Amino acid sequence: MKRILLTLAATIATTTVFAGPSCHVPEDKWMKEADFKARIEAQGYRIKTFKVSKGQCYEIYGFDKNGKKVEIYFDPATGAELERKS
């Protein structure tokens, strides 16, 4: 029983650590990817990887204007920053 509980706790912790925010926005309301990328780059970010996360948010991996590595989730409709992982 103890082993099952430890396995369950590890699974929950792993899922929580790797899960990003969820964006509940219809795709027809999303900013165009090219417009979004241009907006972010104009703010000084350098995008290494751009993707749509499992939670349906825009997600970038790259560098901020100071050259620091960042992983950031954005609302695909407004471009608002939702979560940052450094």
DSSP alpha helices (H): ranges in the chain? 2-18, 33-42
Q: Taking the domains of the chain in order of start, what are their residue ranges?
A: 21-85
CA–CA gap between residue 72 and residue 36 (Å, rounded): 13
Over the stretch 38-76, which tens digit does the pLDDT of each residue have?
A: 999 999 999 999 999 999 999 999 999 999 999 999 999
Which of the two residues, 20 and 40, has the higher pLDDT score? Answer: 40
- Please tell me the pTM assigned to this model: 0.76
Please check the confidence at residue 21 and state whether its pLDDT lies above 90.
yes
Please check the confidence at residue 7 and state whether its pLDDT lies above 60.
no
Q: What distance lies between CA 7 and its chain's CA centroid? A: 27
Architecture of domain 21-85: Roll (3.10)
Over the stretch 72-84, which tens digit does the pLDDT of each residue have?
A: 999 999 999 999 9
Q: Residue 34 — φ and ψ, nearest 5°?
A: -60, -40
